[in-house]
Structure 1
């Protein structure tokens, strides 16, 4: 299997990324309702191409990661937050998510960040194991934060330091 190629998103990726985002939607990782037509554009005021990394396998979009600031406060400008990560079903198990996480850490470091954080649903054990293997640790749990698919689900806050090279 080829190695994932990670690159910054371009405006013309919006349609492919929107299709991917809708195709992988699940309460395993999503707290928003299932998207319904008419679909919102993938890139909008809140998330621009500059906030997104794209993974390709053999030239085809295989995944994406949205990276943003944790808050709009100047005193928090040293923290970046992963605000979305998706991998196409057929690309899972080929290192796409890991490559995106590593690229996000490098991009955050390039932007001057000292920390990177994320939130993950407690029942998403595969994602939690991946994040832990990449140095993220649990920093907090919001117990029964969401009611999804008939059950209360904890929201797990994870983070890691970004040591300077």
Structure 2
């Protein structure tokens, strides 16, 4: 399978991104309840300009959401991956990797000095992907979330963009 094309999301992508979000939701990576069909995908601090999407054969097959870790001016030099989803049918074929690389490139383009993310401790595939793309574990919050009756670590990862 050739690599998907990556582009900035457009307002017209909302319905397809919302569908993708519902289809890919899993307690393996989500700390929030499953998205409702009527929930908007784009939000005040997560509009189309904050999303890169992967397209393959005219269909959206993934997205990555970028944003700031906090609203503080003293933290404005950091971009954070605030969500990543890849359609089941293209998992393991390089779409997630292409999105992570695009997010790192976009963070650099925006002038960020660092890029960070949070990933659940039991999400081994995502952790391996991030590590292979240069992210390192910078902290662990043990048992930070209780998901399906199990306590799960919140793993903080990051990398310098300098």
Q: Distance between the aligned counterparts of 2:58 and 2:103, measured in 1? A: 20
SS at match of 1:126: helix
Q: Distance between the aligned counterparts of 2:156 and 2:39, measured in 1? A: 27
Q: Distance between the aligned counterparts of 1:74 and 1:45, measured in 2? A: 18
Residue 4 of structure 1 and its aligned partner are, at CA, apart by: 1.2
Q: Distance between the aligned counterparts of 1:135 and 1:69, measured in 2? A: 19
Q: Distance between the aligned counterparts of 1:30 and 1:122, measured in 2? A: 12
SS at match of 2:40: coil
Q: How does 1:20-99 map to 2 (within 5 A)?
A: 20-37=20-37, 39-99=38-98
Please list every run of at least 4 consecutive aligned residues from structure 1 whose deviation after the TM superposition is greater than 4 angstroms: none
Q: Which residue pairs with 2:18 in the alignment?
A: 18
Q: Distance between the aligned counterparts of 1:129 and 1:94, measured in 2? A: 14
TM-score normalised by L of structure 1: 0.96
Q: How does 1:90-109 map to 2 (within 5 A)?
A: 90-109=89-108
Q: Distance between the aligned counterparts of 2:75 and 2:36, measured in 1? A: 35
| Aligned-residue CA RMSD (Å) | 0.9
TM-score normalised by L of structure 2: 0.97
Determine if contact 2:21/2:35 at 8 Å carries over to the other structure. Answer: no
Q: Distance between the aligned counterparts of 1:149 and 1:33, measured in 2? A: 11
Residue 43 of structure 1 and its aligned partner are, at CA, apart by: 0.8
Q: Distance between the aligned counterparts of 2:63 and 2:56, measured in 1? A: 12
- Runs of at least 5 residues in structure 1 that lack an aligned partner in the other structure: none
Determine if contact 1:2/1:58 at 8 Å carries over to the other structure. Answer: no
